[in-house]
Amino acid sequence: MPSGSEPSLMTTGPATQTVLTFDDNRLASVLFGQYGQNLALLERRLGVAAASRGNEVTIQGSREACDRARRVLEGLYEQIKGGNELVSGDVEGAIRHAIAQGSLFDFDPKSAPKTARAGFEEINLRKRPVRARTAAQDAYIRALRSHELVFGTGPAGTGKTWLAVAYAVQLFERKEVDRIILSRPAVEAGERLGFLPGDMREKVDPYLRPIYDALYDLMDSRIVERAMQTNEIEIAPLAFMRGRTLANAVVILDEAQNTTSMQMKMFLTRLGENSRMIVTGDPSQVDLPPGQTSGLSEAVALLANVEGIGHAAFGAQDVVRHELVGRIVAAYDGVAARKREGKP
């Protein structure tokens, strides 16, 4: 039992009541969330009723649901005690992990799913650790560690780019690679921005803003700026990658669904010695001209059985942004599925 929580179980008919007491009122307040928002999320996702008072929370529901809620709160409390910030995505991730583990009352190690481990994978950085929040993110991190080329495909908000940058930063900080190279096709999302002023970096910056945001969040800003000045972190427009051999580097191609077949082949063949390549994109949001094949979808299908290449596929259930994003993605996916089946 983690220190700081003392659960007691009381059976009241078919339901169970669990009382958790935490040893630090301030940390308990952080755990419960502003106006109890973390407890409200726990109630919605696990089907329990949770009421807090001071450093104590009472959970009511089925035995399995109470057990999962207890594990979620205890795990998050230990995270806060360790000095780590708690955000809503961490709560959602802990809930998904508890669901994936199933009930500990009926736990059978022989029949346990692969996700039922002590915890999801973690990427340790100097600034802060980055934890997988879903089973798909967990599989993604494991694929990054065991393959030299990894495709990460799925809808927006699933952490594809975020985890790719985190893994690249980890290798860079450990001196396992000399450089991080960031690339992306310069294709607007259904708009035409026209001429963009400035030098090459200033022209490409708007397209790579999500990667910049991840870099500055995962590394000290002074280190990022210095690494960019020395080209240890390099911005390389996809159109200018031809003819290069990228050695001792982590190369990230973001928004790869907007590459053509020839661009994708050109990019993949840039891989040099002691390098890792991560290709991310959402096949459902292609901004190429009508009738043009996405290089990402083609490459994933073509290289599916090639040794040394990994693929992590995300779905609407893996969205870790606002709850509504997952529902929006699911709604659009449903329309697309009906169209493929010829239904109205």
Mean pLDDT of 219-246: 88
> In terms of residue numbers, what domain contains 16?
8-106
The reply to whether 230 and 181 lie within a common domain is: yes
Structural domain tally of the chain?
2
Which of 58, 73, 106 is where one domain is finished?
Answer: 106
162 part of a folded domain: yes
136 part of a folded domain: yes
Q: What's the CA gap between 320 and 79, in Å, rounded?
A: 18
In the three-class reduction of DSSP (H, G, I as helix; E, B as strand; rest coil), residue 19 is classed as strand
Q: What's the CA gap between 55 and 19, in Å, rounded?
A: 11
Place of tokens 């945001």: 213
The reply to whether 101 and 127 lie within a common domain is: no
Percentage above 70 pLDDT, the chain = 78
Pair of tokens at residue 197? 């002023």
Least confident of 141-150, 285-294, 297-306: 285-294
At residue 279 the predicted structure's pLDDT band, cuts being 50, 70 and 90, is very high
3 part of a folded domain: no
pLDDT at 187: 56
The reply to whether 96 and 130 lie within a common domain is: no
Model-level pTM?
0.71
The reply to whether 40 and 189 lie within a common domain is: no
The reply to whether 214 and 310 lie within a common domain is: yes
111 part of a folded domain: no
* Strand ranges for the chain from DSSP E: 8-12, 15-21, 49-53, 56-61, 122-123, 130-131, 149-153, 179-183, 233-235, 249-253, 276-281, 309-313
Pair of tokens at residue 128? 């802060």
The reply to whether 206 and 325 lie within a common domain is: yes
70 part of a folded domain: yes
At residue 107 the predicted structure's pLDDT band, cuts being 50, 70 and 90, is very low
Would you give the DSSP letter of residue 340?
H
113 part of a folded domain: no
pLDDT at 294: 92
Which of 71, 106, 141 is where one domain is finished?
Answer: 106
Q: Is the pLDDT reported for residue 152 higher than 90? A: yes
Q: Is the pLDDT reported for residue 109 higher than 80? A: no
The reply to whether 223 and 270 lie within a common domain is: yes
The domain that contains 140 carries what CATH number? 3.40.50.300
The reply to whether 69 and 163 lie within a common domain is: no
Please report, as a single letter, which amino acid is at residue 291: G
71 part of a folded domain: yes
The domain that contains 49 carries what CATH number? 3.30.1370.10
The reply to whether 208 and 247 lie within a common domain is: yes
Which of 78, 106, 134 is where one domain is finished?
Answer: 106
- The strand order across the sheet containing 149-153 reads 233-235, 179-183, 249-253, 276-281, 149-153, 309-313
Q: Which has more confidence, 1 or 221?
A: 221
At residue 344 the predicted structure's pLDDT band, cuts being 50, 70 and 90, is low
Query: Residue 115: which residues within 8 A CB-CB, separation 6 or more?
Result: 97, 100, 101, 135, 138
Among 137, 142, 122, 34, which residue's Cα sits nearest to residue 79?
A: 122
At residue 81 the predicted structure's pLDDT band, cuts being 50, 70 and 90, is confident
The reply to whether 127 and 96 lie within a common domain is: no
Place of tokens 């994936």: 100
The reply to whether 301 and 174 lie within a common domain is: yes
The reply to whether 162 and 59 lie within a common domain is: no
1 part of a folded domain: no
